[in-house]
Structure 1
Amino acid sequence: MLLPAVPAAASQPAVPSHECAAATERCDGTLSVPLDWSDPSSERVTVAFAWLPATKRPGRATGTILANPGGPMAALPDLPRIQQVLGPVLEDQNLLVVEPRGLGTSSPLLCPGLNLTAPETIAPCAERLGPRVQFFTADQAVHDMDAVRQALGVPKITFYGNSYGTLFAQAYAAAHPSSLAAAFLDSTVITSADGYALWPNRSRLDQLDLVCGQSRACRALPGRASGTWTDLVTRLRAHPDPKVPISALTMVNNVYDPVFGREANAAATAYLRGDPAPLRRLTQVVPGLPQQPAEGPEWAGFLAYRCGDGSFPFDRDASPAERQAQLQRHFLQERPLAPYTPADLGRDITKDLDFCVQWPTPRHSPPLPPRAKLPSVPIMVVGGDFDTQSPAEVARALRAFPKATFVRVPFAGHSLAPASGEMGDCVRTAMRSFLTNHQIPDVRCTAENYRAIGSFPRTISDIPPIAATGLSPEQRRLLAVTFATSADAVARRNPYSTPTHSRLDTQPGLRGGQVRFGDATITLEQVSLVRGLKVSGQIAIPSTRQAAATLQVSTGDGQPHRIKLEWQPFTPHERPALSGVVDDTPFIYPAT
């Protein structure tokens, strides 16, 4: 049902006017709203929404959650995932998802032939859409959301924002403070001093330092991890290695993938010392990675928000030519990509490094106006070490909200509550608790389930023996090498792995042989982590809590060895507890 909304610049009393207000089960509706909320007589646009009354108490809910999953992309297709993340909270609280204008089924912006990787298609798209496109921004969309709130008769909402949804949440708080009861922000987009969203295009070698700082073995290496990486880039620029393209290094130093985090600094150190194998193994998985498609007519809506809401290293009111010049000065003088240069990455500063150069932004539209009076309501903010913005940056930015509390999640990346694994379970538990009572729970979540290694041994003698009880000195060294080989393979099935490694079906052993990955097993075929020792057999990893290996090990003496291992993988121990059998001799080893 399409009904007009009352234009308003501030929150209005909630008087039910939409038929969905009386629904006892899911109700999908639309609302007619002004294109320009400052001009009630402006063109009307249609906004779609889904209203889900509390499942156990429809009509008697304890509250209403307004959710946005981010993007900025269509929100309604993500409704099942939002329901899954919120879980039992929706038994007592209503759920409202409003499709942001210009996206999905809310008066969508469409440009046939649009491709964000082809800058020449962007200016024609903006010209096609005309001056009305300047009103498809967060500052206008949150007025739409509040209009739906009013039409449904909801007195106040609790905002759940994920990623770009956190920008909508902040904009809503600024525009309609009296209608906000609380907010949960996951992976926050922060704003600049002028109130626009920050989109930093930069390298983050500080993350290498963070990971290395947690590991005794990594800290023992000379210098800082970021300095080692800078030396590596300098070496490769002077002496190119076709098996280690510099452009691939930008993926490897993004340690949100735990395999990269575990091995990047040790691999860089090994390369600089004349052992290229570990780094070549890491970079060879980068080519051919699946990329999110960025072409199609519907990307016009994404552009409108991304460029209309954003703060960039160029003036919003400058011409495209002036923006290009400002962007070029920024990358050449500020060097945000250091130690890389745009040339290292095959990027053309004049067209490749920001597609918003070609998008007009004639209207002043900060999502979070600098002098906005922000509500003193409970706000829980969660953020990971490896998110786009660092925990320190997010915590500092959210101080603008009087009652915001930031919760750091070590070693986590982006979009935490929807994530799988123990970390995602933990964040969801905390989120559901907060959404229920608006109190910050004492829940400590982490994705820190590994320690960075310090080196890649080349020979058996390079690995110190494991002081396991019941074994001879020779058996202890054999155990150490066999376990290191097994742990190296199992690391590639870390539950927090990105598609970089989790998609692998097979990978060569570091110095020979083949590793094959199944759903719950890893098969080693004559795998050599070091020269002079080959490991074959299977490692069962039916869960992240226990790994069990049955292996055959051959060394240069021609004597085969049978080894069984059990350990708990994916823990922040330098070396976990081990038990098993070496050639019929049982052993145990406590964690260190």
Structure 2
Amino acid sequence: MTRPRPTGRDRADRRPPRPTATTPRTTTAGRYVIAVALGALTLGAASPAPAAPPPADRLVWTPCAQPGGPADQRCADLSVPVDHRAPDSARLTLRVTRLPGDGPAARRGVLLVAPGGPGGSGVEALAHRGAALRTALRGAYDLVSLDPRGVGGSDGTGCGLRPDDRDVLAFRGWPGPGGDLHGVAVRARRTADTCARNGGAVVRSYSTANEVRDIERLRRALGTPKLSLYGVSYGTYVSAAYAQRHPGHTDRTVLDSSDDPDPTRVGRGWNARTAAGADERFPDFARWAADPARDADGLRLARHPEEVRPRVLALADRLDHAPRATDTPHHPLTGNLLRQTVQQALTDDAAFPWAARLITAAGDPDATPALPPGYGTPVPDRDATVFLATLCNDVRWPRDVRRYAREVAVDRVRHPLTAGQPVTLTPCAFWPGAPADAPVRVTPDGPPALMIQNLRDPTTPYAGALRMRAALGARARLVTVDRGGHGVYLAHGNACGDRAVTTYLRTGHRPASDLRCTDGPGT
């Protein structure tokens, strides 16, 4: 759901792996979070050997400050069963993290930060957002989070996917020129077969339902009767699911950048909606790219905003038939790579320059286009596995390949910027078995929630947020911020939106009705 971009950050909290009932945790630096509905597989290799559970949950906190993060960040290990229905069987150790509240006069409780993904790291989330949250909330909460199964410092395993199947474009299942899905189908089936063969019980356990169970295990280990929740992107679904399953243990809930919780579609619906999301967001990029201010750095793409989209579409079509060599061997600039770059850039205004730079170089016969960071290396195996497995294990996906081909053909015409990718065939179409848990149905019965959403979000589009709002009913309030990009609270300096969330978390007071905020720090 989240489209976290490739990064190269090192993890300062990494420790040598210790023996567990599963594959030792990896030491991959950096993480891809790719917003595409790809799945995970439910049959596979031998399950981990049973291990005796510990006598009790006990969290031993040790320093784990991250580069650029708060100096007092702490981490601990939490033991959870691979299968919560068999608590005496094999176990996993999850890395959990904490920033203590530093405002005793305003003491409120515990706020769990649920990161995006699937596959986002809670340790990284607190390192990057913890200081701002603590300042805004005046230290009223202990901030806690966790690295979900298979993520970061937590135990898990990968499927052992081929590197070429983890290339960004292959992983996201971009159709071939004209919408051809033959190569996509071959890779999707191979990925599903590989996970079925190698994944075992651990890969089968990657799911939203188990993340919710693990969070409840963390609550009990913390000894707190209730958690407040701040979920971002995919984390909004996790938070909504937790509040639905554990209303008596839920205090205040904030959902930042939500999508449709329809239990029949979940990840498939999230991905499909990004086609319209890109169309809604692209005019912001077009206005930026046609601004005379771009002349100074050579990134002005057109004299008028309405000329930018035709230029991008024509260039992508040309690259479909005549790819350009880039600065990265064996990674030519194709039409789909250009489309992927633009789609990625729409998540954040700060990414507009590198999209414009690539478009400019692609149209210059004398230039050698430079790939954006992360596009020349495959998605790490464990990261790819967690993302795929969670979405595929959450809900059954359609199996008919011809159905996907029909949907791609229609979507390419309606939304040429994304050329059918949002409705593409995925490994979930070949995933064996049925999900172990029924997806949670979000209903109007439950604790109150405050939603905040950008009006032009390409990753979790506004139409999906309205469906979450409808599912929550009278127990929700929606704060709409009139801007583009993915992620809202404390992200862009919108005083109106930030104030609404801060006030709710600090005092419990929400707007009397849904609220609309214009963009800008003074609104």
Task: Report TM bin, short chain.
Answer: 0.5 to 0.7
Q: What amino acid is the match of 1:173?
A: A
Q: Distance in 2 between matches of 1:434 and 1:50?
A: 24
The correspondence for 1:78, drawn from 115, 120, 125, is 125
Indicate the SS of the match to 1:401.
helix
Q: Distance in 1 between matches of 2:517 and 2:210?
A: 36
The correspondence for 2:389, drawn from 304, 322, 330, is 304
CA contact (8 A) 2:160 2:194 kept: no
CA contact (8 A) 1:187 1:387 kept: no
Q: Which residue is equivalent to 2:257?
A: 187
Q: Which residue is equivalent to 1:437?
A: 507
The correspondence for 1:289, drawn from 355, 359, 372, is 372
The correspondence for 2:194, drawn from 106, 113, 124, is 124
Change (3 A) 1:125 1:418: farther
Q: Which residue is equivalent to 1:405?
A: 477
Deviation at 1:38, TM superposition (A): 3.4
The correspondence for 1:63, drawn from 98, 105, 109, is 109
Deviation at 1:23, TM superposition (A): 11
Change (3 A) 1:242 1:332: closer
Deviation at 1:64, TM superposition (A): 1.0
Matched, 1:415 2:487: yes
Indicate the SS of the match to 1:199.
helix
Q: Which residue is equivalent to 1:368?
A: 440
Deviation at 1:61, TM superposition (A): 3.3
- Pairs within 5 Å for 1:179-578: 179-194=249-264, 196-197=266-267, 198-201=269-272, 203-204=275-276, 206-207=279-280, 229=310, 247=336, 248=338, 280=363, 288-291=371-374, 293-299=377-383, 300-309=385-394, 314-315=397-398, 318=399, 322=400, 324-333=401-410, 335=412, 338-339=415-416, 354-360=426-432, 362-369=434-441, 374-402=445-473, 403-417=475-489, 419=491, 421-423=492-494, 427-440=497-510, 444=517, 446=519
Q: Distance in 1 between matches of 2:445 and 2:368?
A: 46
Q: Distance in 2 between matches of 1:136 and 1:29?
A: 21
Q: Distance in 2 between matches of 1:238 and 1:26?
A: 47
**Cα deviations by residue, 1:366-421 (Å, 9 ceiling, x for unpaired):** 44336x674131323333413323223312322211322222222321123363x5
- Pairs within 5 Å for 1:122-161: 123-161=193-231
Q: Which residue is equivalent to 2:97?
A: 50
**Cα deviations by residue, 1:3-42 (Å, 9 ceiling, x for unpaired):** xxxxxxxxxxxxxx75559999865333333323334444
**Cα deviations by residue, 1:308-357 (Å, 9 ceiling, x for unpaired):** 2367xx42xx4xxx4x3432232135547633695xx9x8x9xx853444
Q: Distance in 1 between matches of 2:388 and 2:152?
A: 14
Indicate the SS of the match to 2:504.
helix
Q: Distance in 2 between matches of 1:213 and 1:104?
A: 37
CA contact (8 A) 1:162 1:185 kept: yes
**Cα deviations by residue, 1:87-140 (Å, 9 ceiling, x for unpaired):** 222622112212212322332223445542353455323421124422221111
CA contact (8 A) 1:157 1:181 kept: yes
Q: Distance in 1 between matches of 2:418 and 2:502?
A: 44
Q: Which residue is equivalent to 1:173?
A: 243
CA contact (8 A) 1:35 1:43 kept: yes
Change (3 A) 1:111 1:132: closer
CA contact (8 A) 1:199 1:310 kept: no
Deviation at 1:66, TM superposition (A): 0.7
Change (3 A) 1:410 1:43: same
Q: Distance in 1 between matches of 2:319 and 2:80?
A: 59
Change (3 A) 1:21 1:341: closer
**Cα deviations by residue, 1:75-98 (Å, 9 ceiling, x for unpaired):** 223321131231222622112212
Q: Distance in 2 between matches of 1:99 and 1:81?
A: 14
Matched, 1:94 2:142: yes
Change (3 A) 1:180 1:86: same
Q: What amino acid is the match of 1:47?
A: L
Between Structure 1 and Structure 2, the one with more strand by share is 1
Q: Which residue is equivalent to 1:501?
A: none
Indicate the SS of the match to 1:188.
coil
Larger relative CO (CA 8 A, sep 6+): 1 or 2?
Answer: 2
Deviation at 1:361, TM superposition (A): 5.4
Deviation at 1:445, TM superposition (A): 5.2
Change (3 A) 1:439 1:20: same
Deviation at 1:362, TM superposition (A): 2.3
Indicate the SS of the match to 1:102.
coil
CA contact (8 A) 1:233 1:340 kept: no
Indicate the SS of the match to 2:241.
helix
Indicate the SS of the match to 1:91.
coil
Q: Distance in 2 between matches of 1:96 and 1:439?
A: 23
Root-mean-square deviation (Å): 4.9
CA contact (8 A) 2:341 2:372 kept: no
Segments of structure 1 that go 5 or more residues without pairing to the other structure are 1-16, 219-223, 265-275, 449-570, 572-592
Change (3 A) 1:261 1:298: closer
How many percent of aligned residue pairs carry the same amino acid?
Answer: 23
Q: What amino acid is the match of 1:84?
A: A
Deviation at 1:365, TM superposition (A): 3.0
Q: Distance in 2 between matches of 1:380 and 1:180?
A: 16
Q: TM-score, normalised by structure 2?
A: 0.61
Change (3 A) 1:341 1:432: closer
Segments of structure 2 that go 5 or more residues without pairing to the other structure are 1-55, 64-71, 171-186, 292-304, 325-332
Q: TM-score, normalised by structure 1?
A: 0.55
Between Structure 1 and Structure 2, the one with more helix by share is 2
Change (3 A) 1:54 1:339: closer
Q: What amino acid is the match of 2:257?
A: S
CA contact (8 A) 2:255 2:449 kept: no
**Cα deviations by residue, 1:422-454 (Å, 9 ceiling, x for unpaired):** 34x765454333221232367835269xxxxxx
